[in-house]
């Protein structure tokens, strides 16, 4: 890469505020929380970039969650995500306003958008980061991500080019806390969209089963692995999840066995989650699965094998057959007073 001579002109932390149908994606709130920490260390502003149509209400929401400034563009051509148009707007805006850090969620859209933007800007991008911090001496962004199948963590820097860009895995950063009293600045982006920019035409949007599954937002997740033994076993886990007001998850082994759809997979090659309570049923604890759920507030592991690796990170360890234990948990949860006491004792926010 060609070294940029004006590297000191770049400042501020930008967060790409991904929205769908006028709703901010949960990863945006995480990025604002992490971006605020980075901006504070650098002594700069935290900014959000919002693209869409009829999304004016989201500008105030972004400020409420920590953005000092919101760069926005509201245009009918931005109602649905189209790679080429979004890339053009962000590239031109970065060249004009020169942020030193740009954070994008590692969603399907973010993984499409981030590399295209970084390539056109002639800068680097570290994908699927799980940790970010600032080197106080160099102001370089230290970007940490799993490498070699999750067997080690690599920390990557981009010392010679700006902006420093990262896509960030969902569910690994603490969400920003809303503050309704915050005030921010709004800057409208002036980028011309021509017919020549519209390489792709949007025809229709079809929602799949995965769109209905909110693993990243769930306070309670009940996951099953090979110990579930069969597809029908997930009906029992679903019953427990329903009692808790949560959702069902699964290990890769259960997905590969054909017992449940990949949309439910938790782990390095699935979804990273951070619920209040994660109940692992019949999951041995492969490192790839642990990478996707070990940040959960409370981990309950149920396994017939007392030496299962999952027990090493579990807060509560239950050695036994899940087909005996899970029905007993469901029976206990039928007593509303018991679950209310549990919620209060752990200060868990109920759904």
Domains of the chain, first to last: 7-197 (3.40.50.620), 209-346 (3.40.50.1220)
Q: Could you write out the three-class secondary structure of the chain? A: CCCCCCHHHCCCEEEECCEECCEECHHHHHHHHHHHHHHHHHCCCEEEEEEECCCHHHHHHHHHCCCCEEEEEECHHHCCCCHHHHHHHHHHHHHHHCCCEEEEECCHHHHHHHHHHHHHHCCCEEEEECEEEECCCCCCEEEEEEECCCCEEEEECCCCCCCEEEEECCCCCCCCCCCCCCCCEEEECCCCCCHHHCCCCCCCCCCCHHHHCCHHHCCEEEEECHHHCCCCHHHHHHHHHHHHCCEEEECHHHHHCCCCCHHHEECCCCECCCCCEEEEECCCCCHHHHHHHCCCCEEEEEECCCCCHHHHCCCEEEECCHHHHHHHHHHHHCCHHHHHHHHHHHCCCCC
Phi-psi category of 229—alpha, beta or left, where left has phi over 0 and alpha has psi -120 to 50? left
pLDDT of residue 5: 47
d(CA 58, CA 50): 8
pLDDT of residue 2: 46
Residue by residue, pLDDT tens for the chain (351 residues) are 444 447 888 999 999 999 988 899 989 999 999 999 999 999 999 999 999 999 989 999 999 999 999 999 998 888 888 899 999 999 999 999 999 999 999 888 999 999 999 999 999 999 989 899 999 889 999 999 877 665 678 899 999 999 999 999 887 888 899 999 999 999 999 988 887 777 777 777 776 554 456 787 788 999 999 999 999 999 999 999 998 889 999 999 999 999 999 889 998 778 888 888 999 999 999 888 988 888 898 999 999 999 999 999 999 999 999 999 999 999 888 765 555 555 555 544 443
Which of 65, 26, 23 has its CA nearest to residue 271? 26
Tokens of 202: 């949007």
pLDDT of residue 341: 59
């Amino acid at each position: 890469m060609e070294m940029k001579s004006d590297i000191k002109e770049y400042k501020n932390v930008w967060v790409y505020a991904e929205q769908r149908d006028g709703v901010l994606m949960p990863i945006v709130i995480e990025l604002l929380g992490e971006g605020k920490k980075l901006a504070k260390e650098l002594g700069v502003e935290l900014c959000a970039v919002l693209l869409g149509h009829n999304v004016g209400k989201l500008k105030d929401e972004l400020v409420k969650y920590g953005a000092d400034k919101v760069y926005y563009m509201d245009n009918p051509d931005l109602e649905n995500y189209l790679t080429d148009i979004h890339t053009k707007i962000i590239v031109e805006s970065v060249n004009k306003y020169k942020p030193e850090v740009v954070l994008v969620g590692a969603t399907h859209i973010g993984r499409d958008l981030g590399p295209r933007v970084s390539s056109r800007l002639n800068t680097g991008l570290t994908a699927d980061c799980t940790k970010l911090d600032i080197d106080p001496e160099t102001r370089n962004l230290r970007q940490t991500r799993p490498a070699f199948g999750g067997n080690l963590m690599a920390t990557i820097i981009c010392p010679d080019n700006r902006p420093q860009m990262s896509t960030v895995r969902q569910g690994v950063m603490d969400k920003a806390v809303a503050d309704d009293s915050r005030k921010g600045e709004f800057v409208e982006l002036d980028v011309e969209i021509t017919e020549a920019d519209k390489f792709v035409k949007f025809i229709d949007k079809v929602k799949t089963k995965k769109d209905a599954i909110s693993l990243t937002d769930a306070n309670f997740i009940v996951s099953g692995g090979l110990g579930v033994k069969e597809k029908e076993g997930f009906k029992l886990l679903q019953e427990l999840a329903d009692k808790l007001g949560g959702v069902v998850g699964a290990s890769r082994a259960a997905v590969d066995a054909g017992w449940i759809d990949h949309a439910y997979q938790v782990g390095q090659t699935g979804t990273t989650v951070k619920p209040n309570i994660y109940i692992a049923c019949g999951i041995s604890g492969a490192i790839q699965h642990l990478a996707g759920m070990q940040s959960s507030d409370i981990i309950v592991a149920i396994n017939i094998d007392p030496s299962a690796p999952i027990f090493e990170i579990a807060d509560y360890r239950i050695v036994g057959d899940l087909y005996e234990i899970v029905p007993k948990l469901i029976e206990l949860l039928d007593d509303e007073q018991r679950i209310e006491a549990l919620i209060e004792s752990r200060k868990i926010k109920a759904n």
